[in-house]
Amino acid sequence: MTDALPARGCPEEDGYFRKGCNPLAETGRSKLQNQRAVLNQQILRAVRMRAGAENLLRATTNNKVREQVLLELSFVNSNLQILKEELEGLNISVEVYQNTEETFSIPLVPLGLKETKEVDFTLPLKDFILEHYSEDSSEYEDEIADLMDLRQACRTPSRDEAGIEMLISYFLQLGFIENRFFPPTRHMGVLFTWYDSFTGVLSYLKETFTHTPSYDMSPAMLNVLVKMMLAQAQECAFEQIGLPGIRNEFFTLVKMTQEVAKVGEVYMMVNTAMTQEPVRENIPYSWSKLVQIKSDHYRALAHYFLATILCDHELQSSDDEDQQEKAFSQLYDSVPEGLMVRTVLKDKVQRKQLGKAHLRKAIVYHEEALRVCGLCKKLRNIEVLQEVLTAAHKRSLLKYAQQETEDDFLSLIQAPDILPKTEHKVETVAPQFSKVKVKDFFHRLSVGLKEGDYIVSVGGEDCKWLGVSEVLEKLKSTGQQPIEFEVISCQDTTASMTSATGFTYCEDQSLAETVKLLEILMFAISKLNKFKAIA
């Protein structure tokens, strides 16, 4: 679904970014994204209608008008709630993102793409090129089109390394664009519009690219989303360990008990974070419930695995007692009062009683997971989720029934908590921006020096504090060899050229003549192809 998209004017084989999936293609993800975009627009219209009705309600004193407005407001609020529920349904459409037909595991929470609108950069950028850079803006139509193509492609990236690389390329390109065309003292008239991923409300980016544009990108919400993705990564690590199958062997089960307990622990922390203010009201209900279900389910599995150790693996004469005691003791922070690990391993009755205690706790967690799943309509409709939870519950019930004896009334041991531990720790990884090579679309705007530009390096040597004569001496010493400049193009042209900026070029009153000389000399030496611009 990703084809090479070369920049205009570049050979086909030199294409340096990829276009995304065709949003009109008949694929599940594209259809889902189009549906989400339509819902976002409907939600935005409903929000505007509600705002207008509320303003009219505050302004009018006519009782008849107020009754009509209140009736209209109730209709709008009802419609808005329905639209938000539809959006939440799309946000939990796990079948689109995961092939649930071929797997028997709990689906992951699908964090979809953030929706936005098309942006036309043509007029604002062309005006700025003409006004600030004093160049013919019509010569940069291809570059502007390349920028718009790349942004459009980033709305539908492929779900693979190529898609990630494309997003990084666009991010890096934005750095060039922001510095070249968006001075902090001037509004360019370009509105960047996108929708909150959870509520669908519209927001504008009006100040800087680092400004939080909507609630789903607030620090509190991003913190929760990071925790959720790390928990899902931990879950995937556990699933990967179990892909070959889990052997019913003492030390294997000890390892799996702690690994799955770790998954349950991280989901419990995510669930706690999701129920805190201020994110509580904005997290999709189905997401928070699925996280709660996963926490209960994986903690239940931990108790089931530990019960299996106790019920199926009696200590034999050929077993290493010390190694088993050491491994088993690491599962608990403390054993129930009156019990000792070595005694439990040797005593058949104590093993059985403690094993049944863990099975009871596993059953409680399984039943809680099924109960929470039944509370959410969206989750009830995910068949594979229901099947996994039900199968795990039945397995624990069967295991417990196999341990039934007449003296069960004596089994008063409470199962202790299990210490989580993992050999597959997951952590966030910063994007590898340096590995993605990006060519500045508008690099030609920096070719040639202009009055107001600052030369900060010649041939790799810092010259910010050198005088004009010293820089010219450096240029003359290079002879006919190509030389590389680093320049800073200031966007605030109203700044005084004689102010103390730290660049000693500003003290020379013949700056315009010197710059002209440098421009001619630069053209002769490097043919305008060796500039390294810092715009």
Are residues 379 and 340 part of one domain?
yes
Are residues 296 and 273 part of one domain?
yes
Whether 415 is covered by a domain: the verdict is no
Give 534's pLDDT tier (boundaries 50, 70, 90).
very low
Six-digit token pair at 501?
A: 């900026």
What total of structural domains would you count in the chain?
4
Note the pTM of the prediction, 2 decimals.
0.67
- On whether the CB atoms of residues 456 and 291 are closer than 8 A, the answer is no
- On whether the CB atoms of residues 190 and 124 are closer than 8 A, the answer is yes
Are residues 158 and 23 part of one domain?
no
Whether 241 is covered by a domain: the verdict is yes
Residue 106's φ and ψ, nearest 5 degrees, are -65, 130
pLDDT of 183 > 90? The answer is: no
Measure the CA–CA gap between 92 and 107, rounded to whole angstroms: 10
Are residues 398 and 299 part of one domain?
yes
Give 26's pLDDT tier (boundaries 50, 70, 90).
very low
Whether 271 is covered by a domain: the verdict is yes
More confident residue, 33 or 275: 275
Are residues 392 and 283 part of one domain?
yes
Measure the CA–CA gap between 487 and 533, rounded to whole angstroms: 5
Whether 170 is covered by a domain: the verdict is yes
Average pLDDT over all residues of the chain: 76
pLDDT of 411 > 90? The answer is: no
Burial 460-471 (b: 16+ CB within 10 A, else e): eeebeebebeeb
Measure the CA–CA gap between 487 and 529, rounded to whole angstroms: 14
Are residues 376 and 286 part of one domain?
yes
Structural domain boundaries, residue 172: 115-211
Measure the CA–CA gap between 534 and 464, rounded to whole angstroms: 14
Measure the CA–CA gap between 372 and 269, rounded to whole angstroms: 17
Give residue 55's pLDDT: 87
Are residues 133 and 43 part of one domain?
no
Q: Which residue from 125, 26, 35 is spatially nearest to 83, judged by alpha carbons?
A: 35
User: Of 211, 244, 275, which marks where a domain is finished?
Assistant: 211
Six-digit token pair at 152?
A: 């459009």
pLDDT tens, 97-116? 555 455 567 888 877 677 77
Whether 423 is covered by a domain: the verdict is no
Six-digit token pair at 508?
A: 């020379």
Are residues 240 and 172 part of one domain?
no
Which of helix, strand or coil describes residue 68?
helix
pLDDT tens, 137-180? 999 999 999 999 998 888 778 777 888 888 899 999 988 888 88
Which of helix, strand or coil describes residue 179?
helix
Surface-to-core class of residue 276, CB atoms within 10 Å of its CB (0-12 exposed, 13-18 middle, 19+ buried): exposed
Cβ neighbors of 197 (< 8 A, separation 6 or more) are 91, 111, 112, 114, 115, 216
Whether 420 is covered by a domain: the verdict is no
Of 19-28, 162-171, 192-201, the range with the lowest mean pLDDT is 19-28
**Helices then strands (H, E): number in the chain?**
16, 6
Please compute, for residue 305, the number of CA atoms within 13 A of its CA located in the half-sphere on the CB side: 27
Six-digit token pair at 233?
A: 């990564």
Q: Which residue from 289, 269, 368 is spatially nearest to 91, judged by alpha carbons?
A: 289
Are residues 69 and 18 part of one domain?
yes
With DSSP H G I counted as helix, E B as strand and the rest as coil, what are the percentages for the chain, rounded to 5? 55, 5, 35
pLDDT tens, 36-85? 677 777 877 888 888 888 888 888 888 888 888 888 888 888 888 787 77
2-12 average pLDDT score: 39
Looking at residue 85, which CATH number applies to its domain?
A: 1.10.287
More confident residue, 236 or 82: 236
Whether 443 is covered by a domain: the verdict is no
Measure the CA–CA gap between 219 and 229, rounded to whole angstroms: 15
Whether 380 is covered by a domain: the verdict is yes
Are residues 125 and 81 part of one domain?
no
